[in-house]
Chains A and B, each alone.
Chain A
Amino acid sequence: MRNNSFFKLTFWKAIAGIIIICGLFSLYNRFFNGLGASTHLSDAVPWGLWIGFDFIGVGLAAAGFTIAVTVHIFNVRRFEPIVRPAILTAYIGYMLVVALLVIDLGRPQSFWHPLVMWNVHSVMFEITWCVICYSTILTLEFAPVILEKFHLRAPIKILKKISIPVVILGVLFSTLHQSSFGSLYLIVPGRLYPLWYTNLLPVNFFISCIAAGLSMIIFESYQNARAFNQGLDIKLTSKLAKIVLYALIAGFVVRISDMIISGRMNALFIMRTETYMFIGEILVGIIIPVILLANKSYRESKFLLYLSSIFVISGFVLNRINVAVTGLTASSGVSYFPSFDEISITLMLVVFGMWAFSLVVKYFNVFQADSTEEIDEIFEPDSKEIILSE
C-alpha cells in the first residue's frame, strides 16, 4: 500500500517536472526568438490557445465572486466554509491569466501602457483594467488568511472594516470582466461562426462562468477531501450543485431561445466540424450534467457530484476553445493547432497553479475555516445566546 502511494506520488512529480522543464524551455524560445518561432499563430490566426486559456482561467475563477456575494451580501452563512477555497482558486486563476496575457503580448515590456494610455471604447482596455482591479481585490480578500497565520491582527481589523465595499467592488469588476471576454467578439460578426456569434455573447459568458466556477469548487473539495483524508461535506456540495444545475439550465435556455429568435437554429443541421463541436459542448457541458444533477439521489452521491463537476468544467473549456479557435477557423481559412511551445507553456502554468493551490492549502487555513468566528466575532456571542435560549 505504502509503496503504491509512494510510486503514485513520484510518478506525478516526475510528470510535473517534465512539464516544467519543457515549459521553461518554451518560455525561453518565446522570449528570445519571438512569437513566430514559438507559436502557430499567424496573420490569419492572431489569437490562439493562450487567449482561450485566459477565458478558461478567468471563468473557472468565477466562484471567487459568486460565493463572496452569497455569503457576505446575501448573508447565506452556510456557504461560509467555501469562501476561502473559492477566493484562493480565483486568486491563482487570475495570477495565471495575468502571466499568460503578458507572455502572449507581442510587446510584453509595454504591458503597463493601458494604465496610462487610455481608449475607453476598447473592450481590451476594459479587460485590462478589470484584471488589475479584481486581482487587487482578491489580494485584499485573501490577505487575512495569510495574516492570521502570522497573528497580525491589526491589518486584519482594517481589512474587515472595508470588507463589504471590497466584496461589492469585486463582484462588479468580475461581472464586467467575465462578460467582457464575450464582448471581445462582438466586433467580428462576419468571422465568428453563427453558432457562437450573438449579441448576447457577454451574457452567455457571464452565465456559463457561474456554473463552471462553482463546479471547480466541488471538484477541489472532492480532491481535497481525498488528499487529506477528510470527509467531504456532502450537504454543502450538493447545495452548490443545485446552484450549478440552475445556472446550467438558465444558460441553456438563454442560448437556445436566442438562437431560435435570431433564426440561427438551422446552423445546427449543417453537418460540419463546427456543428459537431457545438453539439459536443452542449452535451458534455450542459445536458449530461443536468441529467446527473437534476436527480436528488445522484446529487447526493459523492462520486456522481465529482463526475458532474468534471463534465461541467470540460464543457466550459470546450465552449471557450470553440469561441476562441473553432468558431474562427472557417473565416480565417487556415486551420490552427497550437504549437509545442504554446501547449507546454500552458501546461506549465496549470502545474504551477495546482502546485500553488496545494501548497497554500497545506500551510494555511483554507478548507477548515474554523477561524470564521474571528470574522463573526461581533455577532458570535449573540447568536450563541439565541441558540442557548431556544
Chain B
Amino acid sequence: MNAKALLFDATLCQGCGACYNACKEQNKNSKACDDPLKDHLSADTYTVIEQHHVVDANKNQSDIFTRRLCMHCIEPTCVSVCPVGAMEKTKLGPVLYDADKCIGCRYCMQACPYQVPRYEWKSVNPKVKKCIMCHDRVKNGQPTACAEACPAEATIFGDRDELIQIAKKRMAEKPEAYYPEIYGLKEAGGTSVLFLSPVSFDQLGFSPNLPKGPMPLLTNKVMEKIPTVVSVGGVFLGSMYWLTKRKNEIAKEQMKGNNNEK
C-alpha cells in the first residue's frame, strides 16, 4: 500500500477556514475561538491558518495563507524520542499517539522540529494532542476531513508519490506562480504533508535551518556508541582493578621478600 499524504498549495489557499472548521468537527474539538486566522495550535486545535504579509522583489505586497498541522514526518522525531513508544508512524502515513502508553514526559513536544504536539495542560490526566491525519477516515479509504472540505483544492489528499507528481505538474504549468521547490521532500528526512508556495518557505515561517536528513540520526549517532562505551569501559575498569591490585600484591611480596633476605 502506498503511504498517504497531504499536499497544501499556498498559491490556491483563500484563507476561508473550511479546513479548520472541518477539522474541529471531525475531531469533536471545542470551538473556543472561531477565527482560524487568530487561533493557535492547541490541545483543541490541530490545524490553523496563518496569514503572512509578504513583500516581493518588485515591492508588490500580498497576503499569503498557509496551514499549520502535524507534518507526519517519514522518520518522525516524536516517534524516535518517545521513551515508551506511544508515538507511532503507521505504514498508511499518519503518525498516531497512544495515550495508554504515554507517561507524559513531553519529550515529543520538546523535540518535534515543527513544534506541533500540544498538551492538555488543564487536565489532571493529560494527553498529547495533534493532527492524526484523520486516521479513522483514511484507513477506510476516505480523504481527510480538511482535504474534503477545501473548496479551492489548496489541500488535497492522496498517495505521496502521486501528490509529488501533481505538485511538479502545477509548478511546470505556472512556473511564475511558484517558488521552485516542494517543501517536505527532504526536510527533516521528508514529510507526509507537502507544501507549495509562491515565495521561499522561510517567509512562511518555516525554519530555514532544519537538517535535510532525518532528525533521529542526531541522537542515534550517540546512542550507537553506548554498547561500545559499556563494553570497552567495563573491560578497562576491570583490568585497571586487576592491575592495581596485582601491583599492590607484588609490592607487598617484594617487601616481604626483602624482609626475609634481611
Contact = CB atoms under 8 A, between A and B. Distances in A.
A183 B222 contact: yes
Contact of A121 (B104, B118, B125, B220): B220
Interface stretch (B19-27, B89-97, B240-248): B240-248
A127 B82 CA distance: 12
Contact of B126 (A69, A106, A175): A106
Nearest to A165: B238
Given A31-B124, A186-B222, A110 B102 contact: yes
A17 interface: no
Contacts of B226: 126, 176
Contacts of A263: none
Interface residues of B, number: 59
A34 B126 contact: yes
B105 A389 contact: no
A46 B252 CA distance: 59
Chain A, interface size category, equals: 35 or more
Contacts of A128: 83
B82 A382 contact: no
B121 A35 contact: yes
Nearest to B251: A386
Contact of B119 (A46, A74, A190): A46
Given A123-B81, A202-B222, A74 B240 contact: yes
Given A121-B80, A122-B82, A186-B218, A36 B121 contact: yes
Instruction: Specify the main secondary structure of chain A where it touches its partner.
Output: helix
Nearest to B85: A119
A167 to B, nearest CB: 8
Interface stretch (A8-16, A37-45, A230-238): A37-45
A43 B42 contact: yes
Nearest to A182: B222
Interface of B: 41-42, 77, 80-86, 101-107, 109-111, 113, 115, 118-119, 121-126, 207, 209-211, 215-216, 218-223, 226, 229-230, 233-234, 237-238, 240-241, 244-245, 247-248, 252, 255-256, 259
8 contacts: A43-B121, A73-B241, A105-B104, A106-B125, A121-B223, A168-B234, A187-B218, A390-B255
